Structure 1
Amino acid sequence: MLAGNLDEWLPHFRGLEERMADAVEAAWPICIKPLQSKKNAMTHEDHITEHLVQALIRTKRVPGRIIYQYTLLAEDAGGNVSAPSNIDFVLTVGDDEDVYLACECKRLNVPYKTGVRGLVSEYVDEGLMRFVTGQYSSGLPLAMMLGYVMNAKTDIARRGVGRIMALRSTAIGLQSERDAAVVSGRPLRFHTTHACMSGHVIEVAHTLLAWR
């Protein structure tokens, strides 16, 4: 666990996240290149994330050690230990297994034969919500989410996520929402803060990656 006030750690985590976001942007074209020939509705986020993590490692731009499918252990009142969930990948911070920069990944705007499915509810309910409940990043000040925008329309994906977050604002403890400046050709970025069920506040940095 982090020692001291979370607010004192927040600038450090923000710095790590910004470097990770830059690394993700550099790795993204490398990630999707071998997947282009089989890109379709069945190209799921786990497979994309496997390629992304490998590309991140190869760029040598990751500010630390990256671990794919980071296992979280849980112990019940009787002392029984289980592994109920895995984070898509984390950047380790120091030697404490409970201190890391988590990254959860979800697909958005997936084209099917019957039309495009936004999957924005899944992004919020099955991704973002895991930070709010404390399932991921418990007691930590900041986390990351990546949205793989399968039809490249990041602006539409952003509006869809924003709409669902507004509808779920109480459930996700939404306190603030801030969009970064839009730069043509670069990933779309925004930040949200949430009151977690444990009582502390977590900041989540979102990056939407266009698959062209």
Structure 2
Amino acid sequence: MTVVNPWSLVLPISRAEQIVETLVNAFREIADAPAPDVSFDDGETAISKRLTRHLQTLLPDTLVSGFWDFEVSTVKSDMSDSRRLDITYGTVVQDTHNVRFIFECKKLYGVTDTRAKQYRRRYLEEGVRRFVIGSYAPDQPVAFMIGYVDPKGVGAVKATTASMAQGNAVIELGLRAYDKGRYHEAPPRQFAKHAVMETHHLRSLPLRDITLYHLELRFPTEGKAKARKR
């Protein structure tokens, strides 16, 4: 069996969009449940783990065939930089091609929250940048960032674009400009039903450049406010 990266060479965009929609719908089911067993107050690892488990349970009842996994280990080609991928989806196409989708997940807070800046930095440095340097998806031209938010955090994913354009971030994140000097495209050219925006990142050879599609998944209930220090 041949491992194909990029999957876009063998997988129709309609099916790719169906995979993303399956993830989004699964999140809504666990977040909007009458007695949810996961909330915005949980850590992003716990949220992603619960989401993956629900996706695995749902799989037989969806039109999407394949395998959902949580925290799959990955290393660079030289066996360095060991990392764990938050959520991955793999499937076999045409009985010969094994393809994989990668979703990196981070929590984000609204701009009025004291944690907003810290978590926005983590979204960029521990999420986006790891795609840029090849820690994640070194062979793929497309991957996904997920921002978990509560009602106060709606818009937090798109708000990360301001930080992307500051200081050395443009260079460090390898950002390619779109029209009018913007470093993001909103709505995105693909996955527009669920993605807030796309960003395109230049990567050093032999890596392929990569386009990231950014999703914002909202919990219906606000998280607890951070306790004030006495």
Name 2:204's counterpart in structure 1. Answer: 197
Name 1:84's counterpart in structure 2. Answer: 82
How many residues get paired?
196
Preserved contact between residue 145 and residue 207 of structure 1 (Cα < 8 Å): yes
Aligned CA-pair RMSD: 3.2
Cα shift at 1:169:
1.4
* 1:154-165 matched pairs, under 5 angstroms: 154-155=154-155, 157-165=156-164
Q: Does 1:173 align with 2:171?
A: no
Where structure 2 has 5 or more consecutive residues not aligned to the other structure, the ranges are 179-183, 221-230
Q: Distance in 1 between matches of 2:173 and 2:10?
A: 23
Match of 1:66 among 50, 65, 68: 68
TM-score (norm 2): 0.71
Which protein is richer in strand relative to its size? Answer: 1
Secondary structure at the aligned position of 2:49 is classed as helix
* 1:18-37 matched pairs, under 5 angstroms: 18-32=17-31, 33=33, 34-35=36-37
Q: Distance in 2 between matches of 1:14 and 1:162?
A: 26
Q: Deviations 1:90-110 (Å, cap 9, x if unpaired)?
A: 11244778x521110000007
Cα shift at 1:25:
1.9
Q: Deviations 1:98-144 (Å, cap 9, x if unpaired)?
A: x52111000000799x7453511110110011110001111211111
- Percent identity (aligned): 21
Cα shift at 1:21:
2.1
Preserved contact between residue 13 and residue 101 of structure 1 (Cα < 8 Å): no
Cα shift at 1:30:
2.4
Q: Tell me whether 137-146 or 65-74 shows the greater mean CA deviation.
A: 65-74
Cα shift at 1:192:
1.2
Preserved contact between residue 174 and residue 192 of structure 1 (Cα < 8 Å): yes
Q: Distance in 1 between matches of 2:81 and 2:157?
A: 33
Secondary structure at the aligned position of 2:138 is classed as coil
Where structure 1 has 5 or more consecutive residues not aligned to the other structure, the ranges are none
Q: Distance in 2 between matches of 1:11 and 1:169?
A: 32
Cα 1:136–1:159 shift into 2, 3 Å: closer
Q: Distance in 2 between matches of 1:120 and 1:11?
A: 34
Cα 1:115–1:67 shift into 2, 3 Å: same
* 1:1-212 matched pairs, under 5 angstroms: 9=8, 12=11, 14-32=13-31, 33=33, 34-35=36-37, 39-40=40-41, 43-60=42-59, 61=62, 62-74=64-76, 76=78, 84-94=82-92, 99-109=99-109, 115-118=114-117, 119-155=119-155, 157-167=156-166, 168-175=169-176, 176=178, 177-180=184-187, 189-198=196-205, 199-212=207-220
Q: Deviations 1:134-171 (Å, cap 9, x if unpaired)?
A: 0111121111111001345322x034211111121111
